[in-house]
Amino acid sequence: MKAKMLEGKVAIITGISYGMGTSMAEVFLEEGAKVVGTARGQEKLDKVVAELKAKGFNDIVGVAADIASTEDTVKVFKTAVETFGDIDIVINNAGIGEMTMIDELSDEWMDHIFETNLGGPMRYTREALKYFMPKNDGVIINISSVNGTRPFCGATYCATKGGVNTFTKNVAMRLSGTNIRINAVAPGSTVTPAHLENLAGEQPGGGEYLKHSGHYVYFPGPECEPRDQAYACLYLASDMGKAVKGQVLQVCNGAFL
C-alpha cells in the first residue's frame, strides 16, 4: 500500500464549507491527516463534515468560527489539541471575494474585507506559532490569489491578497533558522461557487469592474479545479515541500504569467 504523505498529522483548514476548502479537507484526509475544519455557517459546515464522514473519513471535526474573531480563533486551536492532541498544519483558506470599485467603497465594507481576508490569516498565524515555536516544527499555508499581483477584482480584495503575499514573506523571515515553514498558494481561475458568481456579476460590487480590468485579464482554458489548489497545499504541507519557505506558488494553468 502506498504510504500516505500526511499520516498522523493534524491540520486546521479554514473555510471548508465549499469550493477549494472542501477539496483541501478531502485531499488531506485521503493522505492520512486529521482535520479540524471551520466555516462561519454551522449548517453548511455540518453538511460537508457529514459528507466526508460518509466517504469513510472519520478523523474530521467541524468548528463554526469567524476568522475575524480572535476568540473564535483561540477556540479552533483548543478544539484541535483537545480532539487530536496536537497541531501540525494550518491552512488559511477562508476569505471573501468581492468586486467593489474604489470609488464605490465604504469604510464599513473595507474594514470587513480587511478583517477577514488579511486579519484572519494574521490571527491564525499568530495563534499557530504559539504551538509551533515551542516544538520548532509546523507548516502554515496562506491562500492568496493571482489578484495579489494581477489586481483585476475589487479594490479591497486585491489589496488584501497583495498583503497576504507580503505577510507570508515577512513571517518566513521571522522564522528563518527554524523548522517552521510558511508559504502561500495563489489560485487563478478555479471552478468554485465564488468564481462562478464573479463571472456572473453576482459577487458584492457586481461585474462593473470587469469592464475596466477585463482588457488586462487573460482567461484561457482550462480553468483550474479545486483539487489543483488542494494538491499545491499538499505539496507544501508534506515532506515534498520541506525546503520551500516564504514562497507564493501560483496555480493558474498558465493564465496569468
> For the residues of 102-121, what is the DSSP string, one character each?
GGG--HHHHHHHIIIIIHHH
> For the residues of 51-86, what is the DSSP string, one character each?
HHHHTT--SEEEEE--TT-HHHHHHHHHHHHHHHS-
**Are the C-beta atoms of residues 187 and 252 closer than 8 Å to each other?**
yes
Q: Which residue in the list 18, 124, 157, 209 is annotated as catalytic?
A: 157
**Are the C-beta atoms of residues 154 and 98 closer than 8 Å to each other?**
yes
Nearest of 85, 185, 61 to residue 135 by alpha carbon: 85
Q: What is the dihedral of CA 75, 81, 86, 88, to 10 degrees?
A: -20
CA distance 123 to 120: 5
Rg (CA), the chain: 17
Handedness of CA 237, 77, 25, 55 (dihedral sign): positive
Strand partners, 138: 180
- Alpha helices for 114-154 (secondary structure H): 119-135
Q: How many residues does the chain have?
A: 257
216 is catalytic: no
* Active site residues per annotation: 157
